[in-house]
Amino acid sequence: MKKALKIFGFIILTIIILLIVAPFVFESQLKDLVKKTMNDNLNAQVDFKDIDLSMFRSFPQATLVIEDLSIINNEPFKGDTLALGEEVTLEMSIKELFKSSEEAKKIDRLSLNNAYVNIKVDSLGNANYDIAVEDTTTSTSNSKPFSLDLKHYEINNSRVKYDDKSSKISMNIENLNHEGNGDFSLDQSELDTYSEALVSLDYDGVNYLNQNSVILDAVFQMDLENMKYTFLENEAKVNQLPLTFDGYVQVNKEDTEMDITFKTPSSDFKNFLGVIPEIYAKNIENVDTNGDFVVNGRIFGKADDTFIPKMDIKITSNNASFKYPDLPKSVQDINLDMEVLNDTGLAEETYINIKNATFRIDQDRFSANGNISNLTENMLVDLALKGTINLANISQAYPMEMEQDLNGILTADVKTSFDMNSIEKEQYQNVKSSGTASIRNFKYSSPEIPNEVQIANADMSFNQGNVRVPDLKMTTGKTDISASGSLQNLIGFLLTDEQLKGNFQVQSNTFSVNDFMVAETEEITTTDENGKDQTVAKTTGKEAVKVPSFLDMELRFTANTVIYDNLELKNAKGLLIIRDETARLQDISTNIFNGSIGMNGLVSTKNQTPVFEMDLNLNSLDIASSFNGLELMQSLAPLASAIEGKLQSTMSLKGNLNEDLTPQLSSLVGNALAELLTAEINPEKAALLSKLDSQLNFIDFNDIDLSKLKTNLTFQDGMVQIAPMNFNIKGIDFQVAGSHGFDMNMNYDLKLHVPARYLGSEVGKTLGKLSGETIENTTVELPIGITGNFQSPQIKVNMQQAVNNLTQKVVAQQKKNLENKAVDAINDILQGKRDPNKPFDKNDTTAVNNQKTDTTSAKVPVTKRDSINKSSQKQVEDAAKNILGGLLNNSRKKKDTTKNN
């Protein structure tokens, strides 16, 4: 007995050792086998990270785990991912491991975890899932390399994306969990399944399902020999709408044949609420309902490359009502009579017929009817809407989570008929619309705008594709607007992503741009109390004006007062064209600063940084008011703070804008021609003028009149360049040129030509003696350099240059006078009026009579002439220094000594 136990124990130990060792023995062989089998049978690139074989995980079955499986397409979808699987688990009998690669393998259980399947069909009908290698073996071959003998399979936490360009269908299935139990080894068997997922469905650009919850608990009769699957016991839920199915689906070689009927298992009106996504229809089990809601239909026929199954689906409800327990109002008199039909099997001949759809809240009734046909091609729409509804009652009868409360009275009696091709091609002459609609007492508020928008009334009249708006009255903050005009494509705007096009005449007593400043927001991700991330929008504290991207409008406007920041513009009028996130201004005129401004240009907020281009015509603006109100004026002409009078200018500007649409000065490029119509200076209001006034004693800046002064400005790279300009102030010629930056640093050259009469009588006599001329014909040229900034200017008078200029001028005049006297003396000698032996005196002007001599004897010796010139120049230079020194160092203003002469 002990011996038998030892033998038995040895056998058990041997088996355990074999079970432990087997995975290491077979693992490498299995990796090669799996890769070879997949790549031999699939026209795709198949790979995986690793394979794990275990004998204990599901003993007595062997468990094979494939990690990070990937299937990548070859042509014509080369490089596209067909499938990814984080983990694929297969369970099979251990004996399957010992079969050769040519023998059939049976798999008992298959699970796929965290998978992504990406199915694509191109416009030619090529499918990326069609990757099976064609079987080229002959009928005499007995090779069966693979056999599916499943008892259980499951797909967990996976996603399927389906995009069919040929049929214009796009489907996204998320959070997919599906499992099935059956016996695939039998020709006839039952398959028990359970599926749940979130389904989104788009057809031809229109969204029909958006993450709608779908659950199916069904048992199928499987006929694997004929590939026919028949519904047995089953129940499905779309959102919370229950449905049951009956019928079959049979997959043939050339097509798929089906005959399926479905219906709601009960007629309770709660079924209608169940159609609505659960997020919007909460707690329907507590809703009090009356009346019925029934959905039943049939989908039957064959589906292939040409045909789809025929369908006959009906949705009806009679005299139904519902009331949520926590809301004050109910929705009553609900009647629905709709059907979805296809009699031919051609997809384009599917149509929706809305025979009747009505409801009532309090005394407000609303109804709709019509049909939508040719769904898959050029969809045809024929609808009629009629009724009145207080929009505020909707949220009091139905639970809605909205950022903006509904309000206002909507009244409509509209009929419209159109095809989608005409809408997309903007052929609005093909749209047939008639009737009227209006909204009264509508209010809109949002954290993104500072004030509530109130629409007192907005009337619309429909005629063909055009919507006439004869009367619109709106207020927000300080702004009031009255408008009339037309919309060209209201239906296209509502149904597609077209911009809203129109033309309007707009009048406003007060229009405040500040009322349309949008509070900028940024997305912030936080974690709630359940540990889930949630993203919320919070304001950044900044405000910006944005040109709406959805508008294509021409607005002819007049406004008595326009408020922009701290400016008030009066009698504004012109044409505003809003298109492509750009506002174009044409022939705009307005009164401001006791003058007027005309402008043409554009403002664009299309890119992250707004830009502008503008041509301005400033006429008779008050300089002081303009300087105080405009940052641009302060930067272009800082000295304007000390000037009182009127300005006229033409300007061309372009550059970047700040978020509130004020110019970024450093980006400005342009030019200006400015003229001072009338102007007086108060030097005390500008540090530069005040400092000049204190140093230039012979000028009183309070007496300066700059009327009719013109100047050219150019600006670029943050610098303002002033072209040389000349003007005269009470006989003093001024020339100014140079530049300054928007940072107020400057570099200017100032040249003054000062008449000698401004220098006093004593100075005038000295100059007269030196030059031999009267004081009226003598001027002093005084160059001045101005640097630093406008708040702390640095003034440098170039004394040496002034002395040199004055010295050269006087010496040149002396030389000219001396040459003239020499010529006179020679003439006297030739005429016998001068004694040729008498020494030549440059100061002798007395005629010498009756003397004749040789002309050469009258010449001044060179050495003596040079001595005279050097002595004269030194004398003149010393006098010039004394004159200019006295001119600039005298602390009191010099009186004009010539005024009383």
**Section 23-37 average pLDDT:** 59
- Asked if residue 220 and residue 268 are part of one domain, the reply reads no
Cβ atoms of residues 751 and 734 within 8 Å: yes
pLDDT tens digits, residue range 335-390?
A: 999 999 999 988 888 899 999 999 999 999 999 999 998 877 788 999 999 999 89
Look at residue 368 and tell me if it is in a domain: yes
Q: Is the peptide bond before 60 cis (omega within 30 degrees of 0)?
A: yes
Question: Would you state the pLDDT for residue 21?
Answer: 40
Give 201 or 852, the one with higher predicted confidence.
Answer: 201
Yes or no: say if 442 and 451 are a contact pair by the CB < 8 Å rule: no
Do 254 and 396 lie in one domain? The reply is yes
CA atoms lying within 13 Å on the CB side of residue 892: 4
Averaged pLDDT for residues 650-668: 84
Residue carrying structure tokens 């005499």 = 140
Specify if 112 maps to a domain.
yes
- Collapsing DSSP states into helix, strand and coil, what is residue 884? helix
Please tell me the total number of residues recorded for the chain in this structure.
901
Is it the case that residue 637 has pLDDT exceeding 50?
yes
Residue 810 to residue 803: CA distance in whole angstroms: 11
Tens of pLDDT, residue by residue over 518-577, are 655 555 566 655 565 555 545 444 556 677 777 888 989 999 998 876 778 899 999 988
Last residue of a domain, one of 214, 237, 260: 237
731, part of any domain: no
C-alpha–C-alpha distance, residues 19 and 21, integer Å:
6
pLDDT beyond 80 at 745: yes
Question: Mean pLDDT, the chain, as a whole number?
Answer: 76
Residues 318 and 228 in one domain: no
pLDDT class of 750 with cuts at 50, 70, 90: confident
- Average pLDDT, integer, range 598-609: 87
Residue with tokens 């030389």: 815
Give me the residues paired with residue 537 across strands. 523
φ, ψ of residue 741 in degrees (nearest 5): -100, 165
pLDDT at 693 over 80: no
* Strands 551-564 vs 500-512: parallel, antiparallel or unpaired: parallel
Interatomic CA distance for residues 220 and 183, integer angstroms: 12
Name which of 303-317, 502-516, 750-764 the model is least confident about. 750-764
| Pair (280, 224) in one structural domain | no
Q: What are the tokens at 80?
A: 């596209």
Residue 848, pLDDT score: 37
Can you list the alpha helix ranges (DSSP code H) found in 425-569? 490-495
**Residue that finishes a domain, picked among 360, 375, 407:** 407
Whether 283 and 263 map to the same domain: the answer is yes
Evaluate whether residue 326 is within a structural domain. yes
Q: Tell the residue number behind the tokens 């050495």, with chain if given.
A: 863
Asked whether residue 20 carries a pLDDT value surpassing 50, the answer given is no
Same domain, 187 and 106: yes
Render pLDDT for 111-169 as a digit per residue (tens, 0 to 9).
889 989 888 888 777 888 777 776 555 444 454 444 556 788 888 999 989 888 876 78
Q: Which pTM was predicted?
A: 0.59
- Please indicate, yes or no, whether residues 231 and 127 belong to a single structural domain of this protein: yes
Sign of torsion over alpha carbons 653, 658, 662, 663 = negative
Which of 499, 498, 450, 457 is closest to 481 using CA atoms?
457
CA distances from 376 to 161, 167, 562 (A): 21, 8, 51
- The encoded tokens of residue 60 equal 């007595």
724-743 residue pLDDT tens: 888 777 777 888 888 888 88
β strands within 324-444, DSSP E: 331-342, 351-361, 364-373, 380-390, 409-419, 432-444
Cite the DSSP H helix spans in 566-675. 623-629, 631-636
Q: Are the C-beta atoms of residues 418 and 432 closer than 8 Å to each other?
A: yes
> What whole-number distance in Å separates Cα of residue 395 and Cα of residue 407?
9
* Domain shared by 223 and 307, yes or no: no
Could you tell me if 245 and 225 lie in one domain? no
Query: Could you give the angle at the alpha carbon of 500 between the alpha carbons of 496 and 504, nearest 5°?
Result: 160
pLDDT band of residue 487 (cuts 50, 70, 90) is confident
Distances from the Cα of 830 to the Cαs of 198, 837, 844, 845, in angstroms? Answer: 127, 13, 17, 16
pLDDT of residue 424 exceeding 70, the answer is yes
121 shares a domain with 42 = yes
User: What b/e sequence results for 839-866 when a residue is b if at least 16 CB atoms lie within 10 Å of its CB, and e otherwise?
Assistant: ebebeeeeebeeeeeeeeebebeeeeee
In a domain? residue 749: no
When mean pLDDT is compared across 237-246, 601-610, 869-878, the lowest value belongs to 869-878
In a domain, 432, yes or no: no
- Tell me, yes or no, whether 528 lies in a domain: no
Q: Is position 414 within any domain?
A: no
User: Is the previous residue joined to 277 through a cis bond, with omega within 30 degrees of 0?
Assistant: no
pLDDT of 38-61, one tens digit each?
A: 767 778 888 888 777 766 566 567
Contact 702, 690 (CB under 8 A): no
Per-residue pLDDT at 757:
63
Q: In the structure encoding, which two tokens stand for residue 777, read together?
A: 């014909």
For residues 377 and 400, the answer to whether their CB atoms sit within 8 Å is no
Total of domains in the chain: 3
Structural domain span for residue 862: 801-889
Domain boundary among 392, 407, 422: 407
Kindly state whether residues 122 and 222 are assigned to the same domain.
yes
